[in-house]
Structure 1
Amino acid sequence: MIAPSLQPRIGPKEDEELQRQIVDNKGIFEPLLVEPLSDQDGCFRIIDGEHRWANYKVLVEGKSEFRQIPIEVTDRLLGDEDRLRVWIYIRRQRKEWDAQEKEMVAYRLIELVGRASAANMLGISFRKLDIRLDCRRSQSSLEKLWPQMD
């Protein structure tokens, strides 16, 4: 059993296109990156691969050929900061995160490690970090106003 993480990524986890790719490829090639949960033997927290895991789980319910999923286990339990650091590193390597995800990560990083460390971890200037935060705050303000417009 794999316990999902609280990752910054947004959007629906179930994706028919990803499920089709898993079926066509007869499984997942890229292993999920997980860490062991210290208090639960045999349970893991997903660091990277939550969308793959969610879609694989849908396929497991209907097909016996999808009973195993490749995982790579970290050698130690990670703290929130290290987990986010790894997640950011992976996203930067793959170049697959959008502006909204970057804004959410920046906001969360500042809460965890402060403004200077957040900018350093993201590899951006304070000015760019502030712009991301302003975008996130503006979006949150608009989301609060949206129900009032109905």
Structure 2
Amino acid sequence: MLTSSLSEDVSSDNEDVSSDNEDVSSDNEDVSSDNEDVSSDNEDASSDNEDASSDNDDVSSDNEDVSSDNDASNDNEDASSDNEDVSSDNEDVSSDNDDVRSVIEDVSSDNEDVNSDNEDVSSDNEDVSSDNEDASSDNEDASSDNEDISSDDTLDSKQQM
């Protein structure tokens, strides 16, 4: 009876370990996906920074045209448009940076989940080890009891003769 109960405990603990391992695998996939998002957002931020740099060059060029050209009105409109582009690109960069921060927070949270699942796996493994030791001890007791029964049967047999 006790050995059967321990066997059920071991089986239950093994199922817990399997479930925790699946959680760890799922969390690792989330971490990988979040890392890909970080990489993509960083590429977007880099592209937006290049756009902003290009627009700043345009602004500088337009400002030079304004100072050297009699048609200052047109150049000022171009400069104003380029400044609006720069402002828009800066907003894109800021938004991408917010996305990167959010994904980093997700990665941190997923890593905490992985650590928690690993602790659960470790605890379940300790339970399995303890149950296995109990089962081994019970098997030794059963073996000893069987030897005692065999010895008693032999003694009874001799006494009956």
Answer 1 or 2: higher relative contact order, Cα 8 Å, separation at least 6: 2
The answer to whether the superposition gives a TM-score over 0.5 is no
TM norm structure 1: 0.23
- Between structure 1 and structure 2, the one with the greater Rg is 2
TM norm structure 2: 0.22
